[in-house]
Amino acid sequence: MLSRRLLLASLTTTAMALSVTAPAQAADKVIKVGTLKLIHGITPYFYDKFTPAGYKIEVIPFETPTDGKNAVVTKSVDFGTYGLAAATLGAAAGEPVVIVAPTCNGGMAIVVGKNSGIGNFKALKGKRVGILPGSTQEAVFLDRLKAEGMTLKDVKSVRVSFSEMAGALERGDIDGYVGAEPGPSISAIRGVGKVLEFPYSTPTGKVNMVMTTHADTVKSDPELTKVFLEIHRKASEYAMAHRPELVQMAGAKLGLPADVANLAADNVELTWKIDQDWINRSKYYGSLMLERKQIRKLPDYGSFIVTGFNPK
């Protein structure tokens, strides 16, 4: 009996010693990712499927591109996705924001009322057009106006956020809008709007949303950047290859009916790879912003677009 008591005491002492000396299991590194409340900002919601051990994803939705960019600049998030316009505006103003990957190409449309009688681009003259200032859509629309021999003064520009555009058209507050999915698909499915055109004929092409981070992050934590971009690559490819799951996720996170999400997905290309064509289009886009005095100088593209961490 004594031997048994001694054995139990010894085991208890050993267990206590181990509990004191063994290091506590390290908590997962939380990667905070900002995104927009749009279907072409859906990729971060698939990150959990591809996040390696030791990391955890927290997705934070934002209403506007500027909100997303500011969150990156203030380090409220580790990475943030929003339009190229907001990123370019920030970098040109000297803010420490850098692009580490594309997120989505496409996702834009110029929409008009179904019974508006507007049958071509020039017919927008004198009409109330919903536009979100500082957005990629605004810059592309200005380029389309130029191509048609028009200026912004030829339309009645109305400031409307992306999430409000479909509703504003349905109420009759505007005659059309330069929108982001799922707005165009909502208007079409409800039978109140029609796509006048997908504005991809400009040299900007389909370039739209980008993945950004603070300039400090790529310098001080390159390993985190590499890990994150591999997650982003896998999630982008998965979402594009599994339409039913993309539609389901859009319903769960954005509240979109399946028919709206499915139609919107036709106009969205989730992507991750930086190539020379994408860089050239992004630089052209910056030159447009400079020409229109939206920025005072071009960003330093050598540091603004970071290609060294892009998965192969």
- Extents of the domains making up the chain: 29-105+206-304, 108-197
Is CATH 3.40.309.10 correct for 29-105+206-304?
Answer: no
Of 56, 97, 55, which is closest to residue 80 (Cα–Cα)? 97
Q: Contact, 79 vs 212, CB < 8 A?
A: yes
Whole-number average pLDDT of the chain: 92
Homologous superfamily in CATH for domain 108-197:
Periplasmic binding protein-like II (3.40.190.10)
| pLDDT reported for residue 11 | 45
- ∠ CA 224-48-212, nearest 5°, is 45
| pLDDT reported for residue 25 | 58
| pLDDT reported for residue 18 | 44
The mean pLDDT of 124-136, rounded to a whole number, is 94
Whether the per-residue pLDDT at 8 is higher than 70: the answer is: no
**108-197 and 29-105+206-304 share a CATH fold:** yes
Residues 180-203: pLDDT tens digits? 999 999 999 999 999 999 999 999
Q: State how far the Cα of 12 lies from the Cα of 35, in Å rounded to an integer.
A: 51
pLDDT band of 19, cuts 50, 70, 90: very low
Lowest mean pLDDT among 72-76, 120-124, 225-229, 288-292: 288-292
Whether the per-residue pLDDT at 58 is higher than 60: the answer is: yes
pLDDT band of 134, cuts 50, 70, 90: confident
Q: State how far the Cα of 220 lies from the Cα of 99, in Å rounded to an integer.
A: 16
